[in-house]
Amino acid sequence: MKLGVISDIHGSSVLLEKALNTLKDVDRYIILGDVLYHGARNDLPEGYNPKKVISLLEDKNYSFITGNCDSQIDHHVLNIPEPIYYKIESYNEINFFMTHGWTPPIDEAVPMAKELKCNVLLYGHTHIPEFNKKDGLYIINPGSISLPKESSRKTVLKIHLEDYKVEFIDIENDEVYRREELEI
């Protein structure tokens, strides 16, 4: 089984299409928030078209986490009844704690994930890819597909659950530029 992790779409249908094409062989998508709206502090991303983002996601098998730029109407049009600020899902021997990184903030999410016996914390919000391990907990951020920060790339994650490999993939050229392994 493979998971595709996408964060911070910010309404870009063009870049979401690239991300979905890059992750076309995954079994399930994890969407870590900031899906339709670009946010008051951000420029419009390339290909800004929230209506098309909705249609691109409507037939996908995905988990959704609410981000700081997601609104009540976003939940309604995505058919998600209530805000979901964090969620736990288990695949194979891995317990994933998923959050956007805004509510709860990462400094609160880390102890929550540990207390809930999670192996991996997935988050977005910073728009900067990250892979760290702290006290037995992997802390992973896929970066942003639409508005990367600090000279990072437009990236997604692919998690191979059969061999615990994690790939950071640049969606602009469909290139795996970093590989890591989860030691579970």
pLDDT < 70 stretches in the chain: none
CA distances 178 to 66, 70, 143, Å, are 27, 29, 13
Structure confidence at residue 3 (pLDDT): 98
Distance CA 70, CA 9 (A): 11
Q: What is the pLDDT of residue 81?
A: 85
* Domain spans in the chain, listed from the N-terminal domain onward: 2-181
The pLDDT assigned to 37 comes to 95
User: CB of 155 within 8 A of CB of 174?
Assistant: no
Taking the domain 2-181, which CATH number applies? 3.60.21.10
Q: What is the pLDDT of residue 68?
A: 96
Written as one letter, the residue type at 135 is D
**Helix-, strand-, coil-residue percentages of the chain, each rounded to 5:** 20, 30, 50
Q: What's the confidence (pLDDT) of residue 131?
A: 98
| CA-based nearest residue to 155, from 120, 110, 124 | 124
Per-residue pLDDT at 39: 87
Whole-number pLDDT of residue 36: 97
Residue-wise pLDDT tens digits, 75-92: 999 999 899 999 999 999
User: For residue 42, what pLDDT is reported?
Assistant: 87
- Residue 170: its pLDDT value, please? 98
Give residue-wise pLDDT tens across range 35-50: 999 988 889 999 999 9
pLDDT on residue 95 = 98
